[in-house]
Amino acid sequence: MKAAVYKGDGVISVEDVLVPSIGPGELLVRVEACGVCHTDLKKVQYNLLPPPRVYGHETAGVVAQLGAGVDGFAVGDRVIVFHHIPCGDCFYCARKLYAQCAVYKKVGVTAGFEPAGGGFAQYVRVMDWIVARGVEKIPDGISFEVASFVEPVNTCLKAVEQLDAALGDVVVVMGQGPIGLIFTMLLQERGVSVIATDTIPGRLALARKCGAAEAVDPTSQNVAGLAKDRTGGRGADAVVVATAAKGLVEQAVECSRPGARILLFAQTSPTERIELSGASICVGERILFGSYSASVDVQKRSTELVFGGKIPLHLLISHRMPLESIQKAFELATRPTADSLKIVVTPNG
């Protein structure tokens, strides 16, 4: 089969590799769509993990082969696959900190080499603990491309629940890339008034279409002033930092009210640094916290949102690219243009 193999030093090479063999309790899935996620881009750009690997974890496809003892699935089933599932029994699982669970950190989907998601390949092997709890069937009428959003919607939904914004709250969502727009959709659905920020006009227009009450360019408009205008002078009740641009966390503090919750969602590189006044957190009684990866607690809800068409995810797809164009897809996702947004790779289409 063909696979986009990470070779190190930022290099991705489409190569012929063996179709992975499966064992008891496992599935072989033919990949029909896999979204490009910025966590994978960072792993490649900053060489965060040793090569060789095949990345890609927003995976949707068709069951091609069943391992011995697999129940509940049949060859031909259309499915989405999570690549992390926690043990459910450890110290961190008991506290619902699933992304810190040792089993969760052990990736359970591979296209060969060290498991790394594998969605940028024609086939993936889904290991037994993922088959047991991390595979969901795609209903008829839902495209593979839309279905591939289940994992990123899950990660955002988990974060939204942690943010705990109340009906009528004003929340600033910084960055209106695919993840920021999903936050805008989910918060709007909960009756929250969203102020969306981005520097690309097309993304601001789409943010309004997705329910943002305001959508502004922070380089030309005073977001802190706007947030205060909308809240009687207090500032935003919460802020979602959905992009990793330098200085945004400091801006998030500036535009939030005392007692606000500030969510860091895109700060995943160990090289990133933040400098804040201690008093802005302590004296201002703000809560600064992170949310990372998916949660089994919202897995069913995330599938319902995607498969039920409750949020317009199809609006986010700007490019569909074959596996052979993976380098171009990564470059476009890293340096977006005025008309680029979510890029979906189609290894078999």
From the list 96, 103, 108, the residue with the least C-alpha distance to 29 is 108
Give the helix ranges, DSSP H, for 142-257. Answer: 144-147, 150-163, 178-189, 201-209, 223-229, 248-254
> Contact 267/127 with Cβ under 8 angstroms?
no
From the list 171, 174, 150, the residue with the least C-alpha distance to 162 is 171
Domains and CATH numbers, the chain: 2-148+312-346 (3.90.180.10), 156-290 (3.40.50.720)
**In this structure, are strands 236-241 and 170-174 parallel, antiparallel, or unpaired?**
parallel
Q: How far apart are CA 166 and CA 305, in angstroms?
A: 20
List the pLDDT tens digit at each of the 349 positions of the chain.
Answer: 999 999 999 899 999 999 999 999 999 999 999 999 999 998 998 888 999 999 999 999 999 999 999 999 999 999 999 999 999 999 999 999 999 999 999 999 999 999 999 999 999 999 999 999 999 999 999 999 999 999 999 999 999 999 999 999 999 999 999 999 999 999 999 999 999 999 999 999 999 999 999 999 999 999 999 999 999 999 999 999 999 988 999 999 999 999 999 999 999 888 889 999 999 999 999 999 999 999 999 999 999 999 999 899 999 999 999 999 999 999 999 999 999 999 999 999 8
* Residues in CB range of 313: below 8 A, 6 or more apart: 146, 149, 153, 182, 185, 306
From the list 309, 300, 268, 292, the residue with the least C-alpha distance to 185 is 309
Task: Give, in degrees to the nearest 5, the angle at Cα 34 between 29 and 35.
Answer: 160
